[in-house]
Amino acid sequence: MKKLAIGCLIVVVLVLVVGGVLGYIFVWRPATAYVASFRQLGELTDIDKQIANKSPFTAPAGNELTQAMVTRFVTVQERMQQSLGARFADMKTKYDELDRLQKAQHRDPSFIEAMGALKDLTTILVVAKRAQVEALNKAAFSLEEYTWVRGRVYNAAGIALSEMDLTRLASAGPQGGGQVQMRRTTDDQVPDRNKELVKPYATRLEQWAPLAFFGL
């Protein structure tokens, strides 16, 4: 009887140990990573507040870009890519992963899918956001004007632009899941002037698409 009791105790201890290890690996560690991701994504809103130009933006007649707008936009992209350096490749890998999901299954990623792809990327996104805000201030862009120009530039280049709203994604974390709503900018009437201005940057815009996808 005593041996049986000892045997049962050993089994219980083993179950608790194994359960604790599995719980750490499959529950606690992932949960901790997600919490850290939410915290870092939450920084993006605070960083946006550092944009100096807060003037309201009115789109030009006919939605036509100017050379100055395009030049300033390109400068911001270059600044972000330069700040990221080799880490830009990590961003592109995650972008390709989510882009393949969209095209293969004809749907936006779920909350879990998005966070799974982003959990190793949040530090990079914060670095890119800081570089973006610094570049926006140097180019005298407001966030509203920059967002409008970015949409027109990609439309003129014939690149379908999807954007993940990272701040909304971060706030959705405590509410738990759901579908990630992607923002898309489409314009059937693209002015010829816009196409002409954007044409020299077509190849580089393809390279910068991951920045736009992550709202940068």
> H helices of the chain, where?
2-23, 29-48, 67-84, 88-105, 111-118, 122-138, 143-156, 166-172, 192-198, 202-213
How far is residue 98's CA from residue 66's CA, in Å, rounded to a whole number? 32
**Does the pLDDT at position 104 exceed 50?**
yes
How far is residue 114's CA from residue 135's CA, in Å, rounded to a whole number? 27
DSSP per-residue codes, 7-27:
HHHHHHHHHHHHHHHHHIIII
Positive or negative: CA dihedral 184, 190, 194, 199: positive
Question: In Å, how far are 11, 13, 77, 102, 138 from 3, measured between CA atoms?
Answer: 12, 15, 71, 59, 77
**Does the pLDDT at position 33 exceed 50?**
no
Confidence of residue 12 (pLDDT cuts 50, 70, 90): very low
Answer whether 177's CB lies under 8 Å from 184's CB: no
Answer whether 169's CB lies under 8 Å from 116's CB: no
**Does the pLDDT at position 94 exceed 80?**
yes
Q: According to the model, what pLDDT value does residue 45 have?
A: 85
Q: According to the model, what pLDDT value does residue 192 have?
A: 95
How far is residue 22's CA from residue 107's CA, in Å, rounded to a whole number? 32
How far is residue 213's CA from residue 181's CA, in Å, rounded to a whole number? 12
Closest CA to 87 of 128, 134, 48, 118: 128
Mean pLDDT confidence for 91-113: 82
**Does the pLDDT at position 14 exceed 60?**
no
Confidence of residue 120 (pLDDT cuts 50, 70, 90): confident
